[in-house]
A and B are shown apart, each in its own frame.
Chain A
Amino acid sequence: MTAKKRDIVIAGYSETAIDFKTGRSAFDLGGEALAKLLAATGISKDVIDGLSVTTPLSECPNPFFAVYMTEALGLTPTWLNYGGSGGCSATGGVARAASAIRDGHCEVVVVLSADAPSTAWRANYGAYRSEFQDPPGVQGPPATFGLLMSRYNHQFGIKSEALGKIAITQREHALHNENAYAKFKTPITMADYEKSRVIADPLRLLDCVMFCDGANAFLVTTEEKARSLGITKMAFPTAYAEVTNFNGDKPLSEITETGFSAIAPKIFKQAGLTAKDICMFQPYDDFTIAVMMKFEDFGFCKRGQGSDFTLDTDLSHRGTLPLNTGGGQISAGQPGLASGGLNLAEAVRQLFGEGGGRQVANPKNALVTGIGVIPYARNWGTSAAMILEA
């Protein structure tokens, strides 16, 4: 475990609008995110000497996507990272960039995620799935989450109005998000939630994320370098931890026990903070149950008490624990495997005081998470968490 450091900063962020079937490519969306990042920070592209990109569903057959992206963007990085942990690749990209900067491989890194899966879905997960996961009909994450929810419900009980509250709160937040997918910018009620179609019992349509197209980018450098570039707004990533294939050699462990329970104590210790100190929570949201389980794993409440905590807590941007204040992926749209970056961008935006109509008061810190990959009959593959401080 590393000690708390405040040397590295996220010195800028950018996002494209989230849209469905844009007809655009990850390269084009990535270019837009870069141009917006340069405009937001006022830096020249020539100072960028590091690039981290995320494997996109729309371009994954190209093993050299990361290199192609450097050509598309006219960048000449001395450090290049190709993140393959889906929704953990944005926070993970920032953490890896911090290490590379500390090792002297580069000084100014762009962590870029762009994807257009609603335009071109080219992923094939292959491996064991055609023999062992697809035949019983478990092709997609919803079936696996239906199974996960059934187990959680069996052990602890799920109050459906708690999941509904998460969906409604995030939808309310998306109304203030100019980048959110336009079709999601309509408020929803508990009646809408309860009437929404069951996808895989007890999972409902309004519990689920939808794949869209979009991109986001972050500028990562040292505080000193940022100031020398004339940048004044910055957020400090003071703690990060990830784990992949948690309980992977314990096949009879409870599937409701997730990697977050292992990394939460690490990041709180690293940042010298506790759950009570967290000003806002920007968790990776593929399904509402994952948000609720993270309330428990990060100690906002005890294990199994997620429903009551959700119902008893003001999760609005004015509340005691502001939740996914940009609407999260569920209500802004998931930009494919540019995901995770959406939740991270909202955290940085809030810490910069740029939240507009959804600005959190006194934003001293934010807790951001990522989830990557949905494996066979368990919960999820990679869990990542980052604490950012003003």
Chain B
Amino acid sequence: MADEKAGRPVPKPSVYVDTKPFWDGAKAGKLVLQYCKDTGQFQHYPRPVSIFTGSRNLEWREVTGKGTIYACTVIRVPGPGLDGRLPLSVATVQLDEGVRILGNILNKDADAVRIGQRVEVTWDRLSDDLQYPAFNVV
């Protein structure tokens, strides 16, 4: 496995906005996403303001990690960070909390992944102290 992930870059947190709660959550095996307190909606990827109101009245909340596959593809050609990962199952998952997130489907043959399948979050270890959300079909 170490070899397979050799080519996969380990993301640096908080390059764009402060994303520390996402990464701390990931370390603890919790999927923590940005939440707009004014409208009661989640948003992902994290933004500097609420995309619903433009205010910074945001907080981070843990979500269940359960959802449904909204769109899915299989990446079949090499590219940066894809060494040893092909064919790679990628899905847009619509979480039950009403927010979409991109993630890999880890426990299913890539060709057997379908829109509408129920999934739950799992964790893909990228380095000794960093893990990234992915999904398993349940």
Binding site for B on A (CB under 8 A): 126-128, 130-140, 142-143, 146-151, 154, 197-203, 248-249, 251-252, 255, 376-377
Contact across chains for B100 and A377 when beta carbons are under 8 A apart: yes
7 A-B residue pairings within 8 Å (CB atoms): A137-B75, A138-B90, A147-B73, A150-B72, A154-B116, A249-B52, A376-B45
Q: Is B21 an interface residue (CB 8 A)?
A: no
**Nearest chain-A residue to B54 (Cβ)?**
A249
Contact across chains for A148 and B71 when beta carbons are under 8 A apart: yes
Q: Is B137 an interface residue (CB 8 A)?
A: no
Contact across chains for A139 and B13 when beta carbons are under 8 A apart: no
Q: Report the 5 A-B pairs with minimum CB-CB distance, sorted nearest first.
A: A146-B73, A132-B45, A147-B71, A151-B71, A201-B74
A248 CA to B9 CA in the complex, in Å?
28
Number of interface residues of B (CB under 8 A): 46
Q: Is B112 an interface residue (CB 8 A)?
A: no
Complex contacts, A134 vs chain B, CB 8 Å: 9, 11, 80-81
Complex contacts, B52 vs chain A, CB 8 Å: 249
Contact across chains for B73 and A143 when beta carbons are under 8 A apart: yes
Within the complex, what minimum Cβ distance (angstroms) separates A195 from chain B?
14
Contact across chains for A137 and B71 when beta carbons are under 8 A apart: no
Interface of A is mostly: loop
Q: Is B138 an interface residue (CB 8 A)?
A: no
Partner of B15, one of A130, A138, A149, A151: A130
A151 CA to B103 CA in the complex, in Å?
16
Within the complex, what minimum Cβ distance (angstroms) separates A170 from chain B?
22
Within the complex, what minimum Cβ distance (angstroms) separates A78 from chain B?
35
Partner of A136, one of B22, B79, B90, B94: B90
Partner of A251, one of B75, B80, B99: B99
Residue in B43, B90, B100, B104 whose Cβ sees the most chain A Cβ within 10 Å: B90
Complex contacts, A128 vs chain B, CB 8 Å: 16-17, 45-46
Asked, given contacts A131-B16, A131-B45, A251-B43, whether A136 binds B103 with beta carbons under 8 Å apart, the answer is: yes
Q: Is B63 an interface residue (CB 8 A)?
A: no
